[in-house]
Structure 1
Amino acid sequence: MLSFMQDWNSVIMLWLLPVVFFIHDGEEITTIEWWLRKNQGNPWLSKISPVPISWNKHITLQFTYAVLLIGFVLTSLTVLTAINFEIGSPFNVLFAGFAMVILLDGVKHTAASIFLRKYTPGVITAATLEIPYGIYALYRFLHADMIVDMASVLIGTIIALPITLLLVWIGLTLGGRIAPFRHET
């Protein structure tokens, strides 16, 4: 069998992680403020945000800052994984963990839309990109010997999930501080 880095399908799977992330979050960025303001009266809304929503600020810019922070980390991890690939590399396990986080995010978005019975920001790309990418990437990485077994995916996810949540919190918090105030017209 070809090594992982000689198998172009596997190399493409690496680089698709940040691509899928940015396309998905592009959908979220373009719809988040409209959706939040439309659903502002729902009591569960404050329970799902890791930071308080500043209704007098540009929420889109606040959210974009968090997306750019996470996207930078994912792209950096992709570069490190591609450059340092070898069987048993800790980058492989961490990368697989982030692929699982992408899959879980897709499932979360899809489940939220089903539960609410309406569109939620990001659901289209979650269902069409994140879930298929996550499933196929993990399958591909297992069969290309990038990761040894599902225990490696679990370990990577246990590491990647808190990192992702921390980056979301940091990004939204800092974004909330630098986002400009809205000027009502």
Structure 2
Amino acid sequence: MVSKKVTWGLLAAWVVHDLEELATMSRWTRKNRVLPTTPAQSAIAIGLMGGVFTAAAAAGARTGGRSKFFQTVLTGFGLHSVTHLATSAIFRGYTPGVLTAPTVVAPFTLWALRRLRAGGIRPNTSPRALMWFPIAVGTVHGIARFATRVRRNTAELPSARR
């Protein structure tokens, strides 16, 4: 059994990290011509991913950290920090999320994994389970693009057709 600081801390660390991404993603993607993302698309994708992190933190809190879902999301979150650092190295500069990846994401994940082990819980995340992360990221961004496209197309309808 571990402290709620470990389980709900995952959600708190994610919020801090994704606030940085929310504040910078759409401007950065337009400037660097990388899958341009509107502020609405960023907000929707981040909100949807927030649902995943909330569910994982709740599962972790409910099981005292024993939930495989919680452990997988926690581990994936930590590995995600590496992708931010690699992306910044590739672009040779700032990329959304790179400030909080080494200062919040990685330290929180390492601390939480240590707390789980100290509580007698051996995190067990399979590589197959971690493959859900790119799928989840792609899905939330796809839904966000679809939702903003539908909203934009609906807004362009003549008022008589609404």
Distance 2:83 2:91 in 1: 12
- 1:78-132 CA-to-partner distances (Å, cap 9, x unmatched) read 112212338xx4x1x3212211111111111122223332111110111110010
Distance 2:89 2:43 in 1: 25
Q: Which residue of 2 aligns with 1:148?
A: 122
Mapped contact 2:59–2:69 kept (Cα < 8 A) = no
Mapped contact 1:106–1:131 kept (Cα < 8 A) = yes
Which of the residues 75, 99, 108 maps onto 1:100?
A: 75
CA gap of 1:110–1:164, structure 2 versus 1, over 3 A, is same
Higher relative contact order structure (alpha carbons within 8 Å, sequence separation ≥ 6): 1
Q: Which residue of 1 aligns with 2:141?
A: 172
Q: How high is the TM-score relative to the length of structure 2? A: 0.81
User: How many residues are matched?
Assistant: 150
User: Mind listing any 5+ residue stretches in structure 1 that lack a counterpart?
Assistant: 46-52
Match of 2:73, SS? Answer: helix
Distance 1:77 1:100 in 2: 11
CA gap of 1:67–1:37, structure 2 versus 1, over 3 A, is same
Q: How high is the TM-score relative to the length of structure 1? A: 0.72
Letter in 1 for 2:56: L
Q: What CA RMSD, in Å, does the superposition of the two structures yield over aligned residues?
A: 2.0
Q: Which residue of 1 aligns with 2:84?
A: 109
* Structure 1: 4+ residue segments shifted above 3 A: none
Mapped contact 2:59–2:70 kept (Cα < 8 A) = no
Task: Report % sequence identity.
Answer: 27
Distance 1:84 1:139 in 2: 17
Matched, 1:158 2:132: no
Mapped contact 1:28–1:122 kept (Cα < 8 A) = yes
Match of 1:121, SS? Answer: coil
Match of 1:123, SS? Answer: coil
Distance 1:84 1:143 in 2: 16
